[in-house]
Amino acid sequence: MSQPSPAPGRQHRTVALAAMAGTTIEWYDFFIYALCTGLVFSSQFFDGLGEDSLVISFATIGISFFFRPVGAALAGHLGDRLGRRAMLIATLLLMGVSTTLIGLVPDSGSIGTNAPVILVLLRILQGLSAGGEWGGAALISVEHAPTTQRGRFGAYPQLGAPLGLLLANGVLAAVTALTTDDQFLAWGWRIPFLLSVVLVAAGFVIRRKVEESPVYRELKESGSRSRAPIAVLFKHHWPLVVAGALLFAANNAVGYMTTGGYVQSYAVNHLGMNPTRILICVMIAAVGWLASTLAGGRLSDRYGRLRIYRIGFVIQLAWMFPFFALLNTANTGLVVLALVLYSIGLGLTYGPQAALFSELYPAAVRYSGAALSYAIGAVLGGAFAPMIAEALQSSTHTVYSVGVYLAGVTVFGLAVTFFLKERQGVPLSDSEAEAEADKRDEQAAMTA
């Protein structure tokens, strides 16, 4: 006797939660590197560079971003040709293997200049994985979702970023609390990287159970898949790729102050805060980011994607300088307050993103379009944001110069929202378009 199929609502939640679990693990792996950059790598792998070791160390974060569009193009092409589900599994495994290997790389004291070279190569593999991961997770969640709840279910893979940040900071906080400074630098920092083996194994099991996107299945059955989705995308839809990239860049630059490790590094190296204490502060803020991201997705179903983006950018801009003022106090309570309120605008400009990007592109090139917009935006916004912030603060001797930089990026993102058309609720597949057309014809006949 066959088992009854789960109810549609349950299916949507299962798919969304599986996408979220995978992105959480993916971003944990990615963020662990960023967090260890200021705390470990500058002294263990780039110690021969003197005063520039911290800036160069942060630059390695940015290098990986240049490979994210490559990963996005590869995963986008294969995702539009072979399906969303296969890419979800492939990108997760690539990230897990590269992260685990980082935990095994000897430092420069053991193998000299080979150490930073190997470290950068593995970071590049992380970049390839991150470039392809998000598009698949976002599309499989949104394409499974009911039309009126795309923002809600599309927010689930977005939660992977704050959850990954929470998990990464939590593991690092535990390790720093249980080891001395010398032990942490000698071997303790490797533990979070090696834990990736367990997390990726769990993510692999979860993602194997996810069903393929119904939109992709329809494309496959109808023979409507594009032979060269990237070529079609840039021939007919390149303005959307640019607009999506610029929109995400404004969010990503601001977000990478914490996810890229700059705030943690600044608090420890310039304000003298205890590493465990600032990591716990960021963990609390990650919960706020999670809540505002989920709220952003849900609110976009009610008020529209672009309206929520604009509200988020305005909040982001208004809080920028108070944020740095409170951070400079080095008072734990005030730093938590600064980071939590900082996360509100960040979440409102992140929660609606999966739904917005999915609705921008036609089904045959949707993976390629969404993934490339995301990856290029990450390069423009987040790639060198921590390095730029560190360079600005070092040269001007005030962290408020970083605030000016981030405020400018935010204003630019806000401006982009006025050049996009609201596409909330547009059909994502041919069958949806036909059903909508039939509904309009039926309503017209009733009023005739």
Can you give the residue ranges of every domain in the chain? 11-212+226-428
Q: Which residue has the tokens 């008020």?
A: 303
Percentage of residues in the chain with pLDDT exceeding 90? 44
Residue type, 285: A
* Rounded-to-integer distance, Cα 359 and Cα 344, Å: 24
394 contacts 55 by C-beta, under 8 angstroms:
yes
What's the pLDDT at 432?
58
Measure the CA–CA gap between 382 and 34, rounded to whole angstroms: 11
Is 11-212+226-428 CATH 3.30.420.40?
no
Residue 109, pLDDT > 60, answer yes
| pLDDT per position as a tens digit, 365-387 | 898 899 899 999 988 998 788 88
The pLDDT assigned to 82 comes to: 79
Span 269-278, average pLDDT = 90
Residues 138 and 94: their CA atoms lie apart, in Å, by 18
- Residue-wise pLDDT for 319-368, tens only, equals 999 999 999 999 999 999 999 999 999 999 999 999 999 999 998 889 88
CA dihedral 141, 143, 148, 154 (to 10 degrees): 30
Q: Which of 279, 281, 282, 313 is nearest to 296 (CA)?
A: 313
Over pLDDT 70: what percentage of the chain? 92
Q: Using 50, 70 and 90 to split pLDDT, how confident is the model at 447? A: low
Contact 256/382 with Cβ under 8 angstroms? yes
Whether 434 has a pLDDT exceeding 60, the answer reads no
How many C-beta neighbours within 10 Å does residue 89 have?
16
**Under 8 Å CB-to-CB from 68, ≥6 apart: which residues?**
127, 128, 130, 131, 375, 378, 379
Give the torsion sign (CA, 90, 94, 95, 97). Answer: positive
Residues 6+ apart with CB under 8 A from 132: 71, 72, 74, 75, 76, 79, 87, 90, 91, 371
Amino acid 387: pLDDT: 83
Lowest-pLDDT choice from 30-34, 131-135, 152-156, 215-219: 215-219
442 class by beta-carbon count within 10 Å (0-12 exposed, 13-18 middle, 19+ buried): exposed
CA distance 161 to 31: 9
Q: What tens digit of pLDDT does each residue of 211-220 get?
A: 777 777 887 7
Confidence of residue 242 (pLDDT cuts 50, 70, 90): very high
pLDDT-derived band at 51, boundaries 50, 70, 90 = low
